[in-house]
Structure 1
Amino acid sequence: MSSKVVLITGTSSGIGLAAAVAAAQAGWLTVATLRDTGRADALRKAAAEAGVELDIRQLDVTDEASVAAAIDGVIADHGRLDAVINNAGAGHLGTLENESVAEVRKVMEVNFFGVLHVSKAALPHLRASGGRLITVTSVGGVIGQPFNEAYCAAKFAVEGYMESLAPVAAKLGVSVSVVEPGAVATEFVNNLGLDLESEVAAAGPYAEPLQVYVDRTISQFLNGAQTPDEAAESVLHALTAARPAFRIQTSQWARDFVGTKLADLDGSAVLGLTGTWVG
């Protein structure tokens, strides 16, 4: 009961896995959650190699009953909750004319409403502990990116929600931060579950700009991506720093990229940049 307790969502791979191991190494009692505990082998292996123990539990961020059960279980077993790291999310590639509104809603359900489900359930306990609410968003939560309309909309929504919540939560003793990675060499892209060649072939009038975008993005992930461990260092900073900033980028590239938007009053700099991504 003496260790601080952090719950992390989406820990089967990538940043979530690395953050769970890093938090445990930093002395936190780490509750590592994932939608399907059958996919926890990599997480268990990483913890064993690091010589740390994790409390691995099931949590589906889109299922309010699953969220409530997980949070209640942590309080019942550990007596407290000092931090939550909302990391679970899902990528999406598409553009408005070629996808249904139902598909867009599904992206919002995972990437936005999932964050709200977990945060709402955790807040009473974070108030009690004077804790921290940390959400892994994306540079795509600041700059809209071609063929990522739904994904960026969800991440924009998360950033707006948390930026609005932060001063309110601070009055009640809860620190709120968002962590903004750029390209990270994780399973995230693979987890899109897309046959990119088929996607381009079926894109109709959007085929040429989509192919240019796909080629650029694959090159970026292959040649300029951070490792999950590097990105997780920023998550750990948000968890452990005396007074973490609200907005934390995970690399100099991400800081420069986000800075373009924050200094761009009329949008011309951003659209001049992202326009080159589609030819």
Structure 2
Amino acid sequence: MTTPPVLLITGTSSGIGFSSAIAAARAGFRVVATMRDPGRSGALDEAAARAGVDVDIRQLDVTVPESISSCVAYIRETYGQLDAVLNNAGAGHVGTIELEDLADVRAVFEVNFFGVVALTRAVLPLLRESRGRLVTVSSVGGVVGQPFNEAYCAAKFAVEGFMESLAPVAATQGVRVSVVEPAAVATEFVPNIGLDALQSAAGTPYADAMSAYLTRTATSFDPANAQTPDSAAEAIVAVLTAAEPPARAQTSDAARRFAGMKLADLDGSAVTSVTATWVASA
């Protein structure tokens, strides 16, 4: 019997990471599903039981070096191999720079960019041994800058630049690097950040624009309009299992259209014309 490929996923307590853990286990991976707070593991345990699969749930905070080294050591000692990694852990953030401290911006980069970089650095020796795959969940916000997402999009742009630059270097060692770009996915992402952002803009010159943006965004992320986490996970597993994985993949037609607009927009006018409507008062 062949040994199942071992896959490490970060940020699996909810959303895309949660769904990807189940989908990957169904696809035959031995999934090490990590989350910052293992106390939130109950839902994933139950979903795995319903699906008839096993997931190995472990603690991992990608902003803590000791947590990363401990998790990677556990995988080496327990499984002796690591065949794929899905960098999924991240945090949303809505705001604009005039209303924020630089500490807020740095915090966004710590989890969304430096956490990805730190984990990537730690797992590359194991991925070189297995000639494995490194897949990172970016966002269409890593391609298109979006209003009131300055810090978040900047971090995701940085992720895309980092991975695009790493890809040919890693390929010399047999490691395939891909980024996956979802558009709106019906998760806890927007409800968790919208109220704080609206309060932070209250009484400022940005209040009306923030209100317009959040109204538009709530509609986009409504389950009636947004992609489901399960559907996004299917697209991710397709990248993990593809004979020739792409360097960049989108998880939906909406994501492909949105990213495609930017990639064909040499002077930036198409993008800014669209995103300006997001902050226009009625």
TM-score with structure 1 length normalisation? 0.97
SS in 1 for 2:205: helix
Aligned equivalents of 1:191 and 1:41: distance in 2? 20
Aligned residues of 1:95 and 1:149 also touching (Cα < 8 A): yes
Aligned residues of 1:9 and 1:85 also touching (Cα < 8 A): yes
Aligned equivalents of 1:14 and 1:277: distance in 2? 25
Could you say if the C-alpha distance between residues 194 and 68 of structure 1 is closer, same or farther in structure 2, counting changes exceeding 3 Å?
A: farther
Counterpart amino acid of 2:111?
A: V
SS in 2 for 1:10: coil
What is the CA distance between 1:49 and its match in structure 2? 1.1
Could you say if the C-alpha distance between residues 197 and 157 of structure 1 is closer, same or farther in structure 2, counting changes exceeding 3 Å?
A: closer
Q: Which sits farther off after the overlay, 187-196 or 158-167?
A: 187-196
Residues 143-171 of structure 1: per-residue CA shift (max 9 Å, x gap): 00000000000000000000000011011
Q: Residues 4-15 of structure 1: matches in 2 within 5 Å?
A: 4-15=5-16
Partner of 1:73: 74
Aligned residues of 1:90 and 1:192 also touching (Cα < 8 A): no
Partner of 1:205: 205
Instruction: Find out whether 1:219 has 2:224 as its counterpart.
Output: no
What percent of counterpart residues are identical?
A: 62
Contiguous gaps of at least 5 residues in structure 1: none
Aligned residues of 1:181 and 1:249 also touching (Cα < 8 A): yes
What is the CA distance between 1:197 and its match in structure 2? 4.6
Partner of 2:257: 256
Aligned residues of 2:198 and 2:207 also touching (Cα < 8 A): no
SS in 1 for 2:31: strand
Aligned residues of 2:190 and 2:218 also touching (Cα < 8 A): no
Q: Residues 238-277 of structure 1: matches in 2 within 5 Å?
A: 238-277=239-278
Counterpart amino acid of 1:170?
A: A
Counterpart amino acid of 2:82?
A: L
SS in 2 for 1:275: helix
What is the CA distance between 1:224 and its match in structure 2? 1.4
What is the CA distance between 1:21 and its match in structure 2? 0.4
Aligned equivalents of 1:251 and 1:211: distance in 2? 27
SS in 2 for 1:205: coil
Partner of 2:105: 104
Partner of 2:50: 49
Aligned residues of 1:87 and 1:136 also touching (Cα < 8 A): yes
Could you say if the C-alpha distance between residues 197 and 244 of structure 1 is closer, same or farther in structure 2, counting changes exceeding 3 Å?
A: same
TM-score with structure 2 length normalisation? 0.96
Partner of 1:90: 91
Q: Which sits farther off after the overlay, 2-11 or 188-197?
A: 188-197
Number of matched pairs: 278
Contiguous gaps of at least 5 residues in structure 2: none
Partner of 1:187: 188
